[in-house]
């Protein structure tokens, strides 16, 4: 593991103890390629914690230019966190006033739950979970202010129903506020989160104060299962996802791991949960609960998933060709992440049925299954189109110079 990544990992602590502080001081005084270090920070989206810990414990080993670069990233993220928090409050109120219960996921609430500070976690999208029976109403309401990116406006009612069966969220953007929003219709990737489960979850929400206002958040047990499922889907390729889980484990906020594993089994997310906890132990020295250790020893596939994620995390640049990455990321990895046969079939459906294809060629609903066969050709068509665009830009730039 390169020393730059070792220093990044050492800085991923909300409250480092004395031995961890000494490690930060030792590594920051060592031979660090600081441009590569900043690339690792950006690659894993961990600038807030890295900046805070190097500011406190980095000493004179950190060049001034690197400190300034990290401070700029920290301040930009803090500003984005405040914008997202304000928009989350507005959207939460808007949906509630229209009798659409919603549950915020990750983002601002998770930053407050885990770090106690909005600015210490990367600020990305806003994620909201609604009952699947309210998706159409919420979609109409959101499109008064937001533009929907996925699925596009070209879908027929039949195609939109097909999209919602295969995909778990709609994606929106607010141009002036530079906010990206995902509207989720189920909590877990591998099975629908039915209306009775949503109602039961609403009854268990906990109050969190955000900017002098109160929002309802999921209990940490449900949050951890959701984080595990989300992280596993992305092969834990960003350390800021993994560190959320590591901090929860370090502070012993989940004392009953047997009950948590039982909940993971019920929701079908046991492997991503065990994978994430083992990775947090290997990379971030989070304690390894006995129940997780025992399950990892029984399921050989967990070791494969952990090794695959370690390779991904420790890679600074994507080294695989795009087609290989798609084949591995979308088919092989995700089919091994869950043991259910129904989910493996769904993985193939999601790969072979791509909603952007539906806007490339318009087909009547009766011919909809044709998209399964056309998927490779339409993928190649889009790739060639992007190649032509890039080549055209290069030629234009060459003539201008």
Q: Does residue 185 surpass a pLDDT of 70?
A: yes
pLDDT at residue 384, rounded to an integer: 79
pLDDT at residue 50, rounded to an integer: 95
Rg (CA), the chain: 22
Query: Count of CB atoms within 10 A of residue 72's CB?
Result: 12
Decide: helix, strand or coil at residue 102.
Answer: strand
Cβ contact 64:55 at 8 Å: no
pLDDT at residue 157, rounded to an integer: 79
Q: Does residue 355 surpass a pLDDT of 50?
A: yes
Query: Count of CB atoms within 10 A of residue 377's CB?
Result: 10
Q: Does residue 387 surpass a pLDDT of 90?
A: no
Q: DSSP assignment, residue 143? A: T
Give me the mean pLDDT over the 158-186 stretch. Answer: 85
Its pTM stands at 0.86
C-alpha distances in angstroms, 55 versus 21, 49, 70, 255?
Answer: 12, 10, 9, 33
Residue with tokens 């999601």: 350
DSSP letter string, 224-290? HHHHHHHHHHTTT-SHHHHHHHHHHHHTT----HHHHHHHHHHHT-HHHHHHHHHHHHHHH-----H
Identify the residue with better confidence: 121 or 343. Answer: 121
Give me the mean pLDDT over the 110-118 stretch. Answer: 91
Give me the mean pLDDT over the 3-13 stretch. Answer: 94
Q: How far apart are CA 296 and CA 164, in angstroms?
A: 33
State both tokens at 205. 């929400």
Q: What does pLDDT average to over the chain? A: 85
C-alpha distances in angstroms, 82 versus 70, 89, 118, 146, 212?
Answer: 18, 11, 7, 19, 13
- pLDDT tier for residue 190 given thresholds of 50, 70 and 90: low
Q: Does residue 114 surpass a pLDDT of 70?
A: yes
pLDDT at residue 187, rounded to an integer: 84
For helices 290-298 and 300-313, the axis angle rounded to 10 degrees is: 100
Q: How far apart are CA 217 and CA 114, in angstroms?
A: 12
CA dihedral sign, ordered 295, 298, 301, 303: positive
pLDDT at residue 44, rounded to an integer: 95
pLDDT at residue 60, rounded to an integer: 80
Q: How far apart are CA 392 and CA 140, in angstroms?
A: 38
Lowest mean pLDDT among 11-15, 97-101, 148-152, 381-385: 381-385
Cβ contact 24:60 at 8 Å: no
Determine the distance from the C-alpha atom of residue 224 to the mean position of all C-alpha atoms in its chain, rounded to a whole number: 13
- pLDDT tier for residue 214 given thresholds of 50, 70 and 90: confident
Most confidently predicted of 144-158, 200-214, 283-297, 367-381: 283-297
State both tokens at 371. 């998209």
Identify the residue with better confidence: 199 or 326. Answer: 199
Most confidently predicted of 93-97, 250-254, 264-268: 93-97
Say whether the peptide bond before residue 151 is cis (omega within 30 degrees of 0): yes
User: What percentage of the chain reaches a pLDDT higher than 70?
Assistant: 90
Instruction: Report the run of H or E that residue 198 belongs to, with start and end.
Output: helix 195-202
Lowest mean pLDDT among 32-36, 114-118, 395-399: 395-399
C-alpha distances in angstroms, 65 versus 4, 34, 211, 371?
Answer: 16, 9, 33, 52
Residues 6+ apart with CB under 8 A from 150: 167, 170, 171, 355, 356
Q: With CA atoms as reference, report the closest residue to 272 among 253, 250, 252, 299.
A: 299
Q: DSSP assignment, residue 329? A: I
C-alpha distances in angstroms, 362 versus 42, 92, 230, 262, 359?
Answer: 39, 36, 32, 45, 6
Q: How far apart are CA 156 and CA 144, in angstroms?
A: 20
Alpha carbons within 13 angstroms on the beta-carbon side of residue 246 total: 23
Q: Does residue 85 surpass a pLDDT of 70?
A: yes
Q: Does residue 317 surpass a pLDDT of 80?
A: no
Q: Phi-psi bin for 210: left (phi > 0), alpha (psi -120 to 50), beta? A: beta
Decide: helix, strand or coil at residue 53.
Answer: helix
Give me the mean pLDDT over the 33-51 stretch. Answer: 95
pLDDT at residue 193, rounded to an integer: 46
Give me the mean pLDDT over the 186-192 stretch. Answer: 70
Q: Does residue 321 surpass a pLDDT of 50?
A: no
Q: How far apart are CA 74 and CA 12, in angstroms?
A: 14
Residues listed for the chain: 401
Most confidently predicted of 74-78, 143-147, 216-220, 374-378: 74-78
């Amino acid at each position: 593991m390169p020393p730059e990544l070792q220093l990044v990992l050492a800085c991923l602590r909300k409250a480092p103890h004395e031995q961890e502080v000494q490690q930060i001081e030792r590594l920051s005084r060592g031979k660090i390629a600081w441009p590569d270090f900043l690339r690792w920070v950006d690659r894993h989206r961990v600038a807030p914690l890295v900046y805070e810990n190097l500011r406190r414990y980095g000493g004179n080993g950190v060049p001034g230019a690197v400190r300034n670069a990290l401070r700029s990233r920290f301040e930009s993220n803090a500003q984005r966190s405040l914008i997202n928090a304000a928009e989350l409050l507005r959207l939460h109120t808007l949906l509630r006033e229209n009798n659409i219960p919603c549950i915020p996921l990750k983002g601002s609430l998770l930053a407050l739950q885990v770090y106690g500070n909005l600015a210490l976690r990367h600020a990305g999208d806003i994620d909201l979970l609604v009952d699947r029976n309210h998706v159409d109403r919420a979609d109409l309401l959101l499109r008064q202010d937001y533009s929907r990116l996925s699925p596009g406006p070209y879908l027929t009612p039949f195609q939109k129903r097909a999209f919602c069966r295969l995909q778990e969220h709609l994606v929106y953007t607010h141009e002036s506020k530079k906010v990206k929003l995902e509207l989720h219709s189920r909590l877990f990737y591998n099975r629908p989160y039915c209306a009775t489960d949503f109602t039961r979850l609403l009854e268990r929400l906990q109050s969190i104060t955000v900017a002098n206002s109160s929002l309802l958040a999921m209990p940490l047990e449900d949050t951890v299962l959701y984080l595990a499922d989300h992280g596993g889907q992305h092969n834990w390729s960003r350390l800021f996802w993994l560190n959320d889980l590591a901090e929860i484990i370090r502070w012993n906020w989940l004392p009953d791991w047997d009950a948590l594993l039982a909940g993971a089994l019920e929701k079908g997310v046991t492997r991503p949960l065990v994978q994430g906890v083992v990775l947090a132990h290997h990379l971030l020295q989070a304690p390894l609960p006995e129940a997780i250790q025992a399950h990892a020893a029984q399921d050989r596939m967990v070791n494969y998933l952990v090794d695959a994620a370690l390779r991904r995390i420790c890679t600074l640049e994507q080294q695989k060709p795009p087609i290989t990455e798609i084949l591995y990321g979308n088919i092989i990895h995700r089919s091994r992440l869950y043991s259910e046969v129904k989910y493996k079939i769904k993985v193939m459906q999601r790969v072979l049925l791509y909603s952007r294809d539906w806007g490339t060629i318009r087909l009547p609903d009766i011919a909809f299954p044709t998209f399964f066969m056309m998927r490779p050709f339409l993928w190649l068509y889009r790739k060639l189109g992007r190649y032509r665009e890039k080549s055209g830009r290069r030629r234009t730039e060459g003539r201008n110079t």
